[in-house]
Structure 1
Amino acid sequence: MLIRRDKDALMCRALDWPGRLVYLIDDDIAGAAQSPDLPADYRRRLAEFDQAYHRALLERADVLLVPSEPLVRLFAQDPRITAKVLRIFPYWPFDYADDRHFAELERGAPLRIAHLGSGSHAGAFAAVAPALAELLEGSADVHLTCFGRELPPALPNRHPRIARLTPMRWPAYRRWLPRQRFHLALYPLEPTPFDVARSANKVVEHAIVGAVGLYPEDWPLADLAGGGCLTAPADPADWAAALKDAVGRRAEWPGLVRQAARSMAPCHDRTAQRAIWREVLDLG
């Protein structure tokens, strides 16, 4: 079993492994080269990984586990790939938040907006940043939390209501996430191969922090929320009106969060996840 990538020695061992190989991959690695708004260093590293190991592992694997339907189609249609391609839902071992933190808004607490994407989401975040800057300027109760080594140019580097967090390693992020509560979570996407292949992971993360998701209107995975979310134009540069409308509908947010949690409850099934892994790993 190999999850995306590891040290060079282990990647070579996986390629030379004579037995059954299960490869879990969560992004369109090769598609990064056709996604110009990804950070240049990130694109370079993914291109090097694709050439050194990823392509060979795709062709070597007996089973590919992927978290999105676009990746299923991408790999299933590649004549060089003979592996069985299976879709697996991104599972988090945390409860979805309830709606109690919305009561604080009625008492005058800050309205907390989050963008939980890291560097691989930088292009879409930069596109929506002017709308966020306008919202922050016009709404004194709005606070923004985001990740990044620097903010997009449209957002001020120093702002009393912007919390810019340094990107975390995965174990630290897993510890951090379930302790947070937000009211609205943004997930702008771009029409690039990399973003098209995104999984439902952020929908789950938003449920964990108790936030209403604001998603592109053409993103199919928003349907997982069962109507318990808000939508905006496909182009993140056109989100200004949708953001203002969303903030104006804050009274609806607790009901939307409850609806999303109900709709996504079947996805949060540890027993089903264990059954999938037993089958994939042939554990009997």
Structure 2
Amino acid sequence: MWKRLLGGKLSPPMDVGQLADAGQAKRLLMLEEGATPSGDYILGPWLASLGPPVVRLDARQPPHTGQIEPGDFIVVQRYLHAPWRHAIERQRRELGGLAWFLDDDLLDPAALAELAEPYARKIRQFATSQRPWFEQMAAQWWVATEALASKYAQMRPTVLPLSPPRALIDPCRAVRVVYHGTASHQREIEWLHGVMAEVQRRSDVTHFELFGELPVNRRFRDLPRVAVLHPMRWESYLAYTASRTADIGLAPLLPSVFNAGRGPVKFIDYTRQGALGLYSRTPPYEGFVRDRVDGVLLAQDANAWVEAILHWANDADGRARCVDAARARFG
């Protein structure tokens, strides 16, 4: 039955008591489907506290040859995909141990019946149906809550503490860089992708925000620390920007007949938010913005914008002086 269910020959079951302590492992391999709250708040810090080097791997990407080394302790967060399952089967007896970390109740059909069907289907495919495999592989059970530990007490689970690292509790001051262009700025939005990618590669403190529909969200999904907001009515935008400040506002403007008729409204948008505006050195901004007095004028060159964002992200005093000068223009 196991061969038919799991699609491969399994090693004989091992007693849980024979498993090596994770703290004595050569390395701790943490398999996760990208970064998650439970990974950063619970599992990652717990593994880091044990001593051996922690290697966080995307479980959606198949393992390459040699990625699992003898003595490794593998921890699966929630879901295990077939390529990793097969690799673990082949090297199970060489491992320092295996654990399955559950941060939700992924095993009770009654619990899954309360969820949206696409989400429940994923859980059944990658978690619920693989419970027999984890039991056959003599995996330790690690859970996030006392409720899960009580419900699945027969598996003798270990409850991991909620222990986020101090850096997440007291993060460094983020620099918010916004681009509040509408759907009429599709060329500028696309142009900014490369600028944002380079800035994010070189800085850990810059956080970008822009507006866009689903295609824009998909386009920028590959970049870290980028929020794409759904477009909103003018009244809602006024209320939103009144409740949130920004540090730098971007206003690139590529040459076009339509753009030639625009006004410098972004100057007001960004001044309202307390943001230093970076503007294209072209009308309507050239001749209106006083360069490095109440804003910054830039040639339409990607490298120039990257360097300007990085420079002003590290000059809070300079940004404040420009914002004060911009506000003074309106009495």
Q: What TM-score do the two structures reach when normalised by structure 2?
A: 0.43
Query: Offset of 1:171 from its aligned partner?
Result: 2.4
Tell me the amino acid that sits aligned with residue 178 of structure 2: A
Is contact 1:128–1:239 with CA below 8 Å preserved after alignment? no
Query: Offset of 1:126 from its aligned partner?
Result: 1.1
Instruction: State the structure with bigger RCO (CA 8 A, min sep 6), 1 or 2.
Output: 1
Please, what is the CA RMSD of the aligned residues?
2.6
Cα deviations across residues 101-155 of structure 1 (Å, max 9, x unaligned)?
Answer: xxxxxx9310000001121112112112201111112111111111001465996
CA distance in 2, matches of 1:230, 1:156: 25
CA distance in 2, matches of 1:113, 1:206: 10
Is contact 2:252–2:279 with CA below 8 Å preserved after alignment? yes
CA distance in 2, matches of 1:125, 1:238: 17
Which structure dedicates a bigger proportion of its chain to helix? 1
Is 1:241 aligned to residue 241 of structure 2?
A: no
Percent identical:
23
Tell me the amino acid that sits aligned with residue 321 of structure 2: G
- Candidates 143, 161, 185, aligned match of 1:121: 185
Moved over 2 A (4+): 150-156, 218-227, 234-251
CA distance in 1, matches of 2:302, 2:258: 16
1:258 counterpart residue number: 324
Is contact 1:124–1:236 with CA below 8 Å preserved after alignment? no
Query: Offset of 1:252 from its aligned partner?
Result: 0.7
Bigger Rg over Cα:
2
- Candidates 144, 161, 171, aligned match of 2:235: 171
> In the superposition, relative to structure 1, how do residues 245 and 211 fare at CA in structure 2: closer, same or farther (>3 Å)?
same
Is contact 1:133–1:154 with CA below 8 Å preserved after alignment? no
1:180 counterpart residue number: 244
Aligned length: 159
CA distance in 1, matches of 2:218, 2:306: 13
Q: What TM-score do the two structures reach when normalised by structure 1?
A: 0.50
1:229 counterpart residue number: 295
Is 1:146 aligned to residue 200 of structure 2?
A: no
Tell me the amino acid that sits aligned with residue 279 of structure 2: Y
Structure 1: stretches of 5+ with no match in the other structure: 1-106, 267-284
Is 1:112 aligned to residue 154 of structure 2?
A: no
Is contact 1:116–1:146 with CA below 8 Å preserved after alignment? yes
Tell me the amino acid that sits aligned with residue 300 of structure 2: A
Cα deviations across residues 182-223 of structure 1 (Å, max 9, x unaligned)?
Answer: 000000001101111111211111111110000012234354
Tell me the amino acid that sits aligned with residue 126 of structure 1: E
CA distance in 2, matches of 1:154, 1:137: 19
